[in-house]
Amino acid sequence: MADIADFANDLVQERIDQALAALKALPVFESFEFCVDCDSTIPMARRLAVTSCTRCAACQQLNEQVGTRYAR
């Protein structure tokens, strides 16, 4: 006989499965060859490691540092 914990576990598993299915349905974009901020070439290693990156590592780091100021 199933108890409330079993029902809760089934519900959580269903939500996890739905979330994973939604992630798989998202389109995968190619990484940009040139940085959108400084127009320098984004190294191939970064483009392979970070899918759909639009900035070089230096510009991305700067962008994240500036963004943290607004999060406070």
* Contact (CB, 8 A) for 66 and 60: no
- Greatest Cα-to-Cα distance within the chain, rounded to the nearest angstrom: 63
35 occurs within a structural domain: yes
36 occurs within a structural domain: yes
- Give the per-residue pLDDT at 3: 93
38 occurs within a structural domain: yes
8 occurs within a structural domain: no
> In which domain, by residue range, is 49 found?
29-72
Mean pLDDT within 47-63: 91
43 occurs within a structural domain: yes
Mean pLDDT within 48-58: 90
Most confident region among 2-6, 23-27, 29-33 by mean pLDDT: 2-6
| Number of domains, the chain | 1
18 occurs within a structural domain: no
3 occurs within a structural domain: no
Distance CA 43, CA 66 (A): 23
pTM of the predicted model, to two decimals? 0.53
* Contact (CB, 8 A) for 30 and 50: no
22 occurs within a structural domain: no
